[in-house]
Amino acid sequence: MSTEISHNREANGTQHDKALIFELSKAGRIAYSLPEQDVPDVDMDTLIPADLRRSEPAELPEVYEVDVIRHYTALSKRNFGIDDGFYPLGSCTMKYNPKINEDVARFPGFAKIHPYQPESSVQGALELLYRLQQDLADITGMDRVTLQPAAGAHGEWTGLMMIRAYHESRGEKRTKVIVPDSSHGTNPASATAAGFKTVTIPSNEDGLVDLDALRAAVDNDTAALMLTNPNTLGLFEEHITEIAAIVHEAGGQLYYDGANSNAIMGITRPGDMGFDVVHLNLHKTMSTPHGGGGPGSGPVGVKAHLAPFLPTPIVGQRETGEYFLDTNYPQSIGRVKAYYGNFGILVRAYTYIRSLGPEGLRQVTENAVLNANYMLRKLAPYFDVPYDRICKHEFVLSGKGLKQYGVRTLDVAKRLLDFGYHPPTIYFPLNVEECIMIEPTETESKETLDAFIDTMIQIVKECEDDPEFVKNAPYTTKVRRLDETQAARKPVLNCACGV
Amino acid sequence: MMHRYLPMTEENRKEMLAAVGVDDIEQLFQDIPDEVRLKRSLQVSERLDERSLLRYMRGLSGQNADFDQYVSFLGAGLYDHHVPVVLNHVLSRSEFYTAYTPYQPEISQGELQAIFEFQSYICELTGMAVANASMYDGATALGEAAALAANTSRRKRIVLSEAVHPEARQIVATVASGLSLDVVEVPCGQDGVTDAVRLKEAVDEHTAAVLVQSPNFFGCIEDVRGLAAAAHVSGALLAVSVNPLTLGLLEAPGKLGADIVVGDAQPFGISASFGGPTCGFFAVSEAHMRKMPGRVVGQTTDRDGKRGFVLTLQAREQHIRREKATSNICSNQALLALAASVYLSVMGKQGMQDAAKLNVNKAHYARQALTAIPGVTALYEAPFFNEFALRLPAGTSVEAVNEALLASGYIGGLDLGRVGADWEGCMLVAVTECRTREEIDGFARALEVAIG
């Protein structure tokens, strides 16, 4: 099929498209080299009855090794990562992904081991997990940590399931989880998956939790309040101890969404703020790569009263010094992920912690916060600043002032692509009009920030001078703005290669 | 302090603080109430220089018995398959691994197209109409299958085969408790597959889905067609968890009546890594497309008419729908979906068939060799792919046997006694294309010695 289709494409003038791997297929070519068949070749009919076997082979492409390498190299050149340039994607903490982390995670003793091997044969792996549990507990101010959740949202759900189990152990069936309107979408979605109803409360004019709204929302049906601190506006919830008191007095638990932990390391800890449960996104704060959308890792820390409900196993240490997988948690919520979590990511995170140490982690936070405040101050004259005060690791601007030129935040983001930047997060949080959310991280230099600031100012000028030009950006990318409506209305979700 | 990841010099710091209008860094944290400030240094592991850190981590890794030094016959969901050399080279392209989720499609076409190809591969292998961009792992994907079925049907019961991987069953139980669903387990029969009679009895008009695995946890190939019929009689969905490598040889579950097909792509070139990260996949028939969890990539065109790809059907997802989303999943396992795609591109049409046959042949040779040991018998007679259960002589401690095997350079099979008392003294053995005849024969000799 491939030759015919690619000829048609060329005839249709779409030869600049990158071919699908399926379109490179040429019958008879191979790219594999399998181990030899050194056991007797038995007639398949005697091993697996024909009616269980495929009636026709899967139509996978037939290419050779050079095709594979060139195809994926070409795809990689159509993709933008942190190593390509500045990536100030708010709430995502796109910091540099250190190379040593990658090398270490590939050591055979980490990459080529099985979770069901005898414990005696994986002591190094268990020790690493144990130490990481300890380190994350201290960073968050929690008593115990599970490394099992695979991502932040998975950690949220794990934490909420523990909160539910805790209430139930006290004979209480609480049904409500409160979230601020600035919260991540995963918060309410995780609440639903844990069987709770979500109550959304508005932020006050300072962008913080409205204490009166919170007081009005809590009651003896409140299971938890989920909070990010600093919140998604990059603002520290100054009244955090009062918030904690309000929730705790109503018998609820306080959940810390750790997406913004890059702002607090060594400065303050959720455990000290009054939180009962915390998840961390190691793929944000601890520098592990985002991988184009995963794998992440979302460890959860809890205060002692929630520890009985942790998912198992937890890595423990015996008096003899030996590490072991502890499954003796009779009140556990159960298992949330196969095996022990995304171990390869945990190895990278631990390597990162050991690259920085206690002083280095604090330095990370200080520099991240200074970078954000510097950018906020430099950009403030050119954009609306909905919350003009000291920010933490990120801040929000509003692009509403550009609407007079007919330009939207989306257009600014697209124009940034022409300058070789990944745009900031846009249209989030939902409570800021035409929101632009910028998180520079600590691994960017002043020169990088200055260049980006200059570009933003230039784009504002372009909006004034030639708004149509901005609205039609980008111009330099491999493809231009894509028709998302068409994609959703008439979904083409695979190449239907074999149909 | 200066650090190789941190560019801020003392001079930068001064200039930037001045630009912000504060005197020192402390003032940037003045909004944090004093009573919640940390008044000491973090008590985390000490910093190591690069060389010392490499040495330290090599030390930790060196304490583990890895597949390069030991010959592994351990599977139970994670296998020692050959990883084509090109995979690491593609995955090491930092344009892929240092990118975020492709929210800006104009500069993310590489990732988006790779996911689109992954979805295409999964559809082709499973025989399903639609696949998503990946899930955390096969086990959590099965949990999401239960959630989808319950949400779609408004029914509250999940019928789960006991022959599904025990950890996947535990996850389904956790998911079900979150959503207040009942889980009814159907036992595994004497022949090693789900007891069809008991299954039929368990399924009724309250059943949202029947969840099975094929080949199942014990390695036996299930009668998916029959199980689908049993589910459909009462209007329940059939969700099948598959080892995707088997689909080089075994019939696509979509052709056997499955409504949801999930699994773990670990056999496709993903290292075992002590259990993760691997890559779950999730495929459905077209009817369930808009109820799928997770991200999906669709094909479209740009304003010049060029083919391009975008994240689509986002109206299902948490960042749009919040509490009404089909799932809370956000990050998935994109990089490992890429790994699986590269693997499938390498294997191609012929390689998938050859790899599957090699697994079948070597595993059957191994079972013959191992059951030739006096007192060792095959536990089940159902057809199998690359994994099978053995019953060791009465009174044998599989744990002790495995310690002895380790001393001889082998990672033995799973002690099935960990799964349940019925399987005390049984071992689950996996044999992939990587095992040579010599290694299999050596393992048989070592096992014979170990059981004494």
Contact A295 B45 (CB under 8 A): no
- Enumerate residues 200 to 229 of chain A having a beta carbon within 8 A of any beta carbon in chain B: none
What backbone torsions phi and psi does residue A341 show, to the nearest 5 degrees? 105, -175
Pick from A79, A108, A125, A341: nearest CA to B83: A108
Would the CB atoms of A107 and B61 count as touching at under 8 Å? yes
B164 and B91 fall within a common domain: yes
The residues, ordered by sequence, that sit 6+ positions from B178 with a Cβ below 8 Å of its Cβ are A157, A161, A164, A193, A194, A195
B396 lies in some domain: yes
- Helix (H/G/I), strand (E/B), else coil: B199: helix
In a domain, B38, yes or no: no
The full set of domains in chain A, from first to last, is 2-77 (no CATH), 100-355 (3.40.640.10), 365-485 (3.90.1150.10)
What is the per-residue pLDDT across A430-477, written as a single tens digit (0 to 9) for each?
Answer: 889 999 999 999 999 999 999 999 999 999 999 999 999 999 999 999
Q: How many Å apart are CA B18 and CA B29, to the nearest integer?
A: 16
Residue A41 CB coordination number (10 Å): 11
Q: Are residues B367 and B330 both part of a single domain?
A: no
Q: Which of B434, B382, B141 is nearest to B284 (CA)?
A: B141
Neighbour count for residue A320 (Cβ, 10 Å)? 6
B154: left (phi over 0), alpha (psi -120 to 50) or beta: left
Domain end call among B326, B342, B358: B342
Neighbours of B129 (CB within 10 A): 18
Taking only residues 278 to 297 of chain B, the set having a beta carbon closer than 8 angstroms to any beta carbon of chain A reads 278-279, 289, 295-297
Q: What is the CA radius of gyration of chain B?
A: 25
How close A180 comes to chain B (CA, Å)? 12
CB-based contacts of B440, cutoff 8 Å, min separation 6: A39, B362, B365, B366, B369, B431
Let me know whether B154 and B133 are in one domain: yes
Is residue B146 in some structural domain?
A: yes
pLDDT band at B324 (very low <50, low <70, confident <90, very high): confident
pLDDT at residue number A8: 41
Torsion B296-B298-B302-B307 (CA) sign = positive
Considering the domain architecture, whether residues B208 and B97 belong to the same structural domain is answered as yes
- What residues of chain B, 105 to 164, have a C-beta less than 8 Å from chain A? 105-111, 113-117, 119-121, 123-125, 130-131, 133-134, 136-140, 147
The predicted pLDDT at position B403 comes to 97
- At A270-311, the pLDDT tens digits run 999 999 999 999 999 999 999 999 999 999 999 999 999 999
Nearest to B12 among A266, A356, A446 (CB): A446
Chain B residue with the nearest C-alpha to that of A178: B323
CA distance, residue B372 to nearest chain A CA (Å): 16
- Show which of residues 42-101 on chain A sit within 8 Å of chain B, judged by CB atoms: 42, 44, 47-49, 51-55, 57-63, 65, 67-69, 71-84, 87, 89, 92, 94-98, 100
pLDDT given at position A9: 41
Cis (ω within 30 of 0) for the bond into A49? no
Instruction: Say how many CA atoms lie within 13 Å of B337 toward its Cβ.
Output: 38
SS3 content of chain A, % helix, strand, coil (to 5): 40, 10, 45
Q: What share of chain B is helix, strand, coil (3-state, %, to 5)?
A: 45, 15, 40
- Cα B63 to Cα B290: distance, rounded to the nearest angstrom: 47
Could you tell me the pLDDT band of residue B320, with boundaries at 50, 70 and 90? confident
Could you tell me if residue B6 is inside a domain? no
Nearest Cα of chain A lies from the Cα of B262 at a distance, in angstroms, of 14
| Residues B304 and B394 both lie in one domain | no
Residue B134 has pLDDT above 70, yes or no: yes
B11 touches chain A (CB under 8 A): no
Tell me, yes or no, whether B58 lies in a domain. no
User: End of a domain among B342, B367, B382?
Assistant: B342
Q: Pairing relation of β-strands B182-186 and B410-411?
A: unpaired
> Which 8-state DSSP code applies to residue A7?
H
Neighbours of A56 (CB within 10 A): 9
pLDDT of residue B319: 86
Residues of B in contact with A79 (CB under 8 A): 95-96, 99, 102, 107-111
Cross-chain residue pair A59–B124, CB shorter than 8 Å? yes
Nearest CA in chain B to A281: B331
Contact B217, B166 (CB under 8 A): yes
Indicate which CATH number applies to the domain containing B317.
3.40.640.10
Q: How many CB atoms lie within 10 A of CB B46?
A: 9
Q: How confident is the model at residue A392 (pLDDT cuts 50, 70, 90)?
A: very high
Domain match, B96 and B241 both: yes
| Boundary (domain end) residue, out of B312, B342, B372 | B342
Q: Which of A141, A372, A166, A376 is nearest to A251 (CA)?
A: A166
- State whether the Cα torsion A442-A446-A452-A458 is positive or negative: positive
Q: What is the pLDDT of residues A246-271, one digit of tens each?
A: 999 999 999 999 999 999 999 999 99
pLDDT at A351 over 70: yes
Among B345, B119, B155, smallest CA distance to B236 is for B155
In chain A, residues with a C-beta closer than 8 Å to the C-beta of B438 are 38
Given a cut of 70, whether residue A3 has pLDDT beyond it is no
Averaged pLDDT score across all residues of chain A: 95
Q: What are phi and psi of A273, to 5 degrees?
A: -80, -15
Longest dimension (CA), chain B: 83
Q: For A34, which of B130, B331, B355 is closest by C-beta distance?
A: B355
Mutation target to probe the B interface, by most B beta carbons within 10 A, among A112, A374, A495 is A112
Q: How far is B5 from chain A (nearest CA, A)?
A: 6
DSSP letters spanning A434-455: TEEEE---TTS-HHHHHHHHHH
* SS3 category, B99: coil
Q: What is the DSSP letter of B362?
A: H
* B323 and chain A in contact, CB less than 8 A: yes
CATH of the domain at B395: 3.90.1150.10
Question: What is the token pair recorded at B358?
Answer: 């090699």
Q: Cα separation of B70 and B60, whole Å? A: 17
Closest residue of chain B to A198, computed from CA coordinates: B323
pLDDT of residue B449: 98
Tokens describing residue B89: 């080279």
B18 touches A at CB < 8 Å: no
* Contact between residue A168 and residue A251 where contact means Cβ atoms under 8 Å apart: no
**Chain A, 140-199: which have a CB under 8 Å from a chain B CB?**
141, 150-154, 156-157, 161, 164, 184-195, 197-198
**Domain-located, residue B403:** yes
When comparing pLDDT for A446 and A12, which is higher? A446
Could you read off the pLDDT of A120-168 as tens digits, one per residue?
Answer: 999 999 999 999 999 999 999 999 999 999 999 999 999 999 999 999 9
- Give the count of domains, chain B: 2
Residue type, B445: R
- Helices B334-371 and B109-126 pack at an angle, to 10 degrees, of 30
Band of pLDDT at residue A497, cut at 50, 70 and 90: low
- B312-335 as b/e, with b when 16 or more CB fall inside 10 Å? bbbebbbbebbbebbbbbbbbbbb
Phi, psi of B297 (to 5 degrees): -105, 135
Same domain? B302 vs B384: no
Nearest CA in chain A to B295: A293
* CA atoms within 13 Å, Cβ hemisphere of A414: 22
Residues B379 and B432 in one domain: yes
Same structural domain, B446 and B407? yes
- For residue B326, give the chain A residue with the closest CA: A189
Q: Which residues numbered 199-218 in B keep a CB inside 8 Å of some CB on A?
A: none
Q: Same domain for B153 and B242?
A: yes
Mean pLDDT (whole number) for B180-199: 97
Residue range B270-284: mean pLDDT, rounded: 98
Per-residue pLDDT of A215-241, as tens digits, reads 999 999 999 999 999 999 999 999 999
B121 falls within a domain: yes
Interchain CB distance below 8 Å, B323 and A345: no
pLDDT at A430: 87
d(CA B185, CA B160): 5
Probe site for chain A from B10, B83, B93, B107 (most A CB atoms < 10 A)? B107
Distance, in Å, from the CA atom of A301 to the CA atom of B98, rounded to the nearest integer, reads 27
Q: How far apart are CA A118 and CA B399, in angstroms?
A: 8
Chain B contacts of A113, Cβ < 8 Å?
64-67, 272-274
Token pair in block for residue B18: 């001045």
- Cβ within 8 Å, pair B59-A267: no
Tell whether B309 and B422 lie within a shared domain.
no
Q: Which one of B16, B277, B434 has the shortest CB-CB distance to A374?
A: B16
> Measuring CA to CA, how many Å separate A7 from each of A14, A16, A192, B2, B308?
10, 12, 49, 57, 18
Asked if residue B259 lies in contact with residue B238, where contact means CB atoms within 8 angstroms, the answer is yes
Q: Is residue B21 part of a domain?
A: no
**Minimal Cα distance from A482: which residue of B?**
B302
Residues contacting B281, CB < 8 A, separation 6+: B122, B126, B131, B132, B134, B135, B138, B141, B244, B262, B263, B264, B265, B337, B340
Q: Which amino acid is at A88?
A: P
- Collapsing DSSP to helix, strand or coil, A122 comes out as strand
Contacts of B278 in chain A (CB under 8 A): 338
| Residues of the domain holding B251 | 86-342
Where are the extended beta strands (E) located within A118-206?
Answer: 144-146, 176-180, 197-201
Is there a contact between B95 and A84 if contact means CB atoms under 8 Å apart? yes
Q: Are residues B265 and B305 in the same domain?
A: yes
The tens digit of pLDDT for each residue in B386-445 reads: 999 999 999 999 999 999 999 999 999 999 999 999 999 999 999 999 999 999 999 999
Please, are residues A392 and A285 in contact by the beta-carbon 8 Å criterion?
Answer: no
Which chain A residue is nearest to residue B26, measuring alpha carbons? A366
pLDDT tens digits along B35-73: 999 999 999 999 999 999 999 999 999 999 999 999 999
From the list A156, A491, A497, the residue facing B124 with the nearest CB is A497
* pLDDT number for residue B331: 87
